[in-house]
Amino acid sequence: MTDTGFGPYGTPAPPPPVAPKRRLRTGAMAGTAAAVALAAGLGLGHVAWSTGSPSVAASGASSSQSTGSGSTASSIAAKVDPGLVDIDTTLGYSQEEAAGTGIVLTSNGEILTNNHVIDGATSISVTDVGNGKTYTASVVGYDTTQDVAVLQLNGASGLQTTSIDTAAVSVGETVVGIGNAGGTGGTPSAAGGTVTAVDQSITASDEGDGSSEQLSGLIETNADIQAGDSGGSLVNSAGEVVGMDTAASSGYSFQTTGGSSGYEGFAIPIGEATTLAKEIEARDASSTVHIGTTAFLGVEIDAANGYGNAASGGATVAGVITSSPAQAAGLSAGDVITSVNGDAVDGASGLSGLLEPDKPGDTVTIGWTDTSGVAHTTTVTLTSGPPQ
């Protein structure tokens, strides 16, 4: 699927159509899919991943695939479905929409999902599978390095939660991957399989800009995890959640610690995900955990130079968001951001790291070199932007 509008690490594209496009994100790293996260705010280095045109299950259908233990995936999923939610996001700055899944943590509407499901979102709508109601959601916090986020549904109460088993899984154990495959909504799709490896580390690269993201300690499964399942549940034969669906190869190749081949799906162990979720719920910010709203500068980073400009070592601006702090400062396409508060910028990830401690309303000093080679320095006040 070809993106319109500004890509996160791309140059300006033709004007978008009136109706936003629908983008389905498979778990954090779908093979070599394109990076499409908005690079206009705080977390410029984080990327979201899209499969382009995934093969999806029919709307409202659950698979009856055998799990190998006499049960079917659909019967196991029926125990879990009411504790899941469908997540739909509007990515206003890129004129797109996206879909994913979440796990209900508390009856008053705290939701566990992948960070890549909600990054770049200018609005988040969540439908609870258990009661069929749709809620707006706010971001409690997220960790881009672990791909975990927590949402709070506004006005929710009495939601059904899932049963969780934090014990380590074993290779060969029966599992079912459940989620909003294809972003179709309705009854979650279910795919049976087994655990094929544990404690896996993966690196997925983007052919478009050379970016990559790494996760470790993952459960590997041959269950058919698809685009839209991100943030959904990997459950055992008892219907207990053992992992959060996060990545799928979908026919592409991964670099893994085990050197496995063929179809691969990956999930974050639920014990690790919920431990991090508790830190977020406690508003315990750290060097990797971001709490609350995200500071917003308003630049988009050039795909060719976003990870370090060969000439200056900075981050090259592909575009500037209208009415953003960056526009007010006088930044424009082609400029190279070289410093934040006097600290040198080393590409998009470096810019992200320097802005990470800041909150909306904070002032920062930005240094940059324009297309004529003239150096500039100015102070700007950051505003609120989408999670990254």
Whole-number pLDDT of residue 180: 93
Contacts of 239 (CB under 8 A, 6+ apart): 76, 77, 79, 80, 163
Alpha-carbon gap, residue 251 to 82, rounded angstroms = 30
* pLDDT reading at 248 higher than 80: no
Question: Where in the sequence of the chain do the CATH 2.40.10.120 domains occur?
Answer: 1-290
* pLDDT reading at 388 higher than 80: no
Whole-number pLDDT of residue 262: 56
Whole-number pLDDT of residue 95: 79
> What are the angstrom distances between the C-alpha of 113 and each of 151, 211, 273?
8, 22, 9
Whole-number pLDDT of residue 254: 42
Alpha-carbon gap, residue 280 to 290, rounded angstroms = 8
Contacts of 282 (CB under 8 A, 6+ apart): none
6 vs 149, residue with greater confidence: 149
pLDDT confidence band for 366 (50 / 70 / 90): very high
Q: Report CA torsion sign: 195, 199, 205, 211.
A: positive
Tokens of 141: 């916090």
Secondary structure percentages of the chain, helix, strand, coil, to 5: 10, 35, 50
What SS3 state is found at 182? helix
Contacts of 319 (CB under 8 A, 6+ apart): 6, 11, 12, 299, 300, 333
Alpha-carbon gap, residue 220 to 226, rounded angstroms = 14
Average pLDDT, stretch 252-268?
Answer: 60
pLDDT confidence band for 356 (50 / 70 / 90): confident
Residues 5, 93 contacting (CB under 8 angstroms): yes
* pLDDT reading at 338 higher than 70: yes
Q: Return the exposure string of 229-253: e unless at least 16 CB atoms fall within 10 Å of the residue's CB, then b.
A: bbbbbbbbbebbbbbbbbbbbbebe
Whole-number pLDDT of residue 58: 25
Question: Where in the sequence of the chain do the CATH 2.30.42.10 domains occur?
Answer: 293-385
How many beta carbons lie within 10 A of that of residue 107, not counting itself? 12
pLDDT confidence band for 302 (50 / 70 / 90): low
At residue 121's C-alpha, the angle toward residues 116 and 126, to 5°, is 85
Superfamily of domain 293-385: PDZ domain (2.30.42.10)
Alpha-carbon gap, residue 344 to 141, rounded angstroms = 27
pLDDT confidence band for 226 (50 / 70 / 90): confident
Looking at every residue in the chain, the average pLDDT score rounds to: 77
* pLDDT reading at 351 higher than 50: yes
* pLDDT reading at 171 higher than 70: yes
Please tell me which of 73-77, 258-262, 305-309 the model is most confident about, judged by mean pLDDT: 73-77
Per-residue pLDDT tens digits for 150-159: 999 999 999 9
- At the second CATH level, the architecture of 1-290 is Beta Barrel (2.40)
Whole-number pLDDT of residue 355: 85
Tokens of 188: 């979650």
What SS3 state is found at 350? helix
Whole-number pLDDT of residue 343: 93
- Helices (H), strands (E): how many in the chain? 5, 23
Least confident of 110-114, 301-305, 351-355, 379-383: 301-305
pLDDT confidence band for 249 (50 / 70 / 90): low
Q: What is the dihedral of CA 221, 227, 233, 234, to 10 degrees?
A: -10
Whole-number pLDDT of residue 253: 37
DSSP secondary structure string for all residues of 119-149: TT-SEEEEEETTT--EEEEEEEEEETTTTEE
Average pLDDT, stretch 86-112?
Answer: 92
Residues 292, 141 contacting (CB under 8 angstroms): yes
H/E run at residue 312 = none
Alpha-carbon gap, residue 365 to 339, rounded angstroms = 8
Residues 209, 302 contacting (CB under 8 angstroms): no
* pLDDT reading at 29 higher than 70: no
